[in-house]
Amino acid sequence: MTSRERLHRLHRQEEVDRPGLFVRGVSERYPVHDSYEALRRYVREHGDLKEIVSIWEYTDISGITRERVPYSEDYEKIISTMRTPAGTLTHERLDSTKGLPGYDVKHYIETERDAEIYMRRPAAAFRFDGVDFGERADRMGDRGIVVTEINSNPLSLVVNLMGSELFAIWSLEKRELLHSMVAHERDILMKMIKTAVESGAGPYFGILGQEYMTPPLHGPRDFYDFNVIYDRPISDLIHNAGGYLHIHCHGPIKHVLPFFIDIGTDVLHPIEPPPLGDVTPEEAKAVLRGKVCIEGNIQIGDMYDLTPGEIREQTEALIKGAFDDNKGLIVCPTASPFVRYAGNCAENYFAMMNTVLEYR
């Protein structure tokens, strides 16, 4: 069975010869440090490959200008300015000069007036290049699939405009305004997806951002109201075009797991067990069996901290817990490599991959 056929059948909840094997965040170009080269080569040769094509590659964001200014010994400040017919909004982010994580210090939206200004902004021009997409799919051939990445879902687009704290407060105090904003983003995204589909994108699509509405900051009602209600039309659009939807969502999702079925999810990543999540592969399989393919859930941190033997044991347990029906499992780390120098982690990746490749 080719990688392309295997991944396609897994999206459709059909039996396959072995679990799928996708190594997230490792490709011909990434990670950029040479210490990962042996891993990159092994993934190219043995993994079930996915090439990610972001719709934002084809989106004109010239309406936002950015200026980088000195801030401190460790950080520079990036000031982004968004101009709309109703006024100007600004966002400020500190960017580390030493390879450390950055963080936002000012969001575009801080008041109701800011929200009104934002929703007066015209949608960015979007021109999906179907020829480019087709050429990428042709180059991939039987080695895997090409995924059209929608990136942020409507909810997370709004959260990123104002930050999680203000969104949580407004979910209590200004809920109707939030609904208006999320609906605004949904309508824009659906037009973009429809254009992409008509231009040749598909059948595989990916989206993320649902994790902003998981516990402990929000509960099941909020997850349903701001994810299911607004993501379902996007899912229906994709499915009606003969496509499939992959969702990436970290965090504790046990109490909202059935809602991913309501959204229309075909593949869900990473479904994390304790301590970073709260649902085991067996528990997830009991809920998602025959409906949603599990992609996961070897913790990325363990790739750097554990031994190859321990990673092999984890992978074997994952397969035992989620692949008893020979359907619905793509073994995958929970995230992309995050340490600049690979160290000994490649041996752990090899252990994970070989456990899958040796499956009978």
**CATH code for residues 3-61+124-357:** 3.20.20.210
Burial class (CB in 10 A: 0-12, 13-18, 19+), 29: exposed
- Per-residue pLDDT at 72: 93
Yes or no: say if 332 and 356 are a contact pair by the CB < 8 Å rule.
no
Q: Provide the sign of the torsion angle of the four alpha carbons 149, 153, 158, 160, taken in this order.
A: negative
- Give, for 244, the enclosing helix (H) or strand (E): strand 244-249
> Phi and psi (nearest 5°) for 49?
-85, 150
Q: Which pLDDT band holds residue 101 (cuts at 50, 70, 90)?
A: confident
Per-residue pLDDT at 19: 98
Tens-digit pLDDT profile for residues 277-302: 999 999 999 999 999 999 999 999 99
| pTM for this entry | 0.95
| Mean pLDDT score of the chain | 95
Give the closest residue to 288 by CA, choosing from 262, 312, 308.
262
First CA to last CA distance, the chain: 13
pLDDT given for residue 100 in this prediction: 82
Q: Express each pLDDT in 14-72 by its tens digit.
A: 999 999 999 999 988 889 899 999 999 999 999 999 999 999 889 987 789 999 999 99
pLDDT level of residue 7 (50, 70, 90 thresholds): very high
**How many Cα atoms occupy the beta-carbon half-sphere of 296 within 13 Å?**
29
Quickly count helices (H) and strands (E) in the chain: 14, 12
Portion of the chain with pLDDT greater than 70, in percent: 100
Query: What ranges do the domains of the chain cover?
Result: 3-61+124-357, 62-107
Residues 6+ away with beta carbon under 8 Å from 71? 77, 94
Q: What pLDDT shows up at residue 184?
A: 97
